[in-house]
Amino acid sequence: MRRLLPLFFFLFSLPVYAQTDSVHGIDLSHFNGDVEWSVLQELENRPHFIVFKATEGVDYLDPAFKKHWVAARKHGFIRGAYHFFVAHDDPIAEAQWYIKNVPLQQGDLYPIVDVERAKKNEKPGLKKRLQQFLSLIKKHYGVSPIVYTGPHFWNTYIGESLHDGELWIAQYEVDEPSIPTGWKAWSFWQFTQEGKVSGVAKPVDMNRFSHSQREFEQFRIK
């Protein structure tokens, strides 16, 4: 998962996370470098949730996923894990790969699929392949996956809503994200990929939830 309004830059670039009471979180993968979990844990307004890159395609596992996954729970963070969907791979094998490597537990966020890349010759049948992936993930975990995407990509390659899950939209340097075709609203918004957080070596993706903490609880595994 992957610029920033002046207000958000001010709020999120401060080392102590001087933020409002909105529900906010970050993405992490091995690309973000080392994480000092004790520092991250003690931030005055620490992230409400952390989402990790877990898998990609049918055989890639992020090198930092397993240690991040364990450390986040140990330090009291709400965890989420996403799969980067590869348009030309077998969607059933992709779903099985995610399931094999992501042991979601009570309190974790619903499974997340990142759909943001495809070649023109991969567009035919893409909607069907994505639907197959989503259906298998839902069957295994018992909840509808959250779909992460960008408005341009979705409108170009999908163009409609495929399931009853929620939308995680990625769009930067705007006051409010655009709603892709087929969706009614967004639940999560990734508004920058250049956030700075004490305890994380490199810039991070930053996200906010659309509603209250109480409503956020609806998207955690029961």
pLDDT at 39: 97
Q: Can you give the pTM of this predicted structure?
A: 0.90
Residue 85: name the closest of 110, 57, 63, 53 by CA.
57
**Tens digit of each residue's pLDDT (9 = 90 or more) over 80-96:** 999 999 999 999 999 99
What is the amino acid identity at position 192? Answer: T
> Nearest-CA neighbor of 130 among 106, 99, 164, 95?
95
Is the model's pLDDT at 173 over the cut of 60?
yes
Whether 155 has a pLDDT exceeding 70, the answer reads yes
| Domains assigned to the chain | 6-219 (3.20.20.80)
- C-alpha–C-alpha distance, residues 170 and 207, integer Å: 9
pLDDT at residue 3, as a whole number: 34
Give per-residue burial for 63-102: e unless 16+ CB within 10 Å, then b: ebbeebbebbeeeebbbbbbbbbbbebebeebbbbbbebb
Strands 112-114 and 204-209, by their bridges, are unpaired
Q: pLDDT at position 129, please?
A: 96
The pLDDT score that the predictor gives to residue 21 is 55
Residue 164 pLDDT grade (very low, low, confident, very high; cuts 50, 70, 90): confident
- Answer whether residue 2 shows pLDDT above 60: no
Average pLDDT, the chain: 90
pLDDT recorded at residue 222: 95
Report the pLDDT value the prediction gives residue 22, as an integer from 0 to 100.
84
- Pairing state of beta strands 167-170 and 78-84? unpaired
Phi, psi for 17 (deg, rounded to 5):
60, 45
What's the burial of 60, exposed, middle or buried (CB within 10 Å: 0-12/13-18/19+)? middle
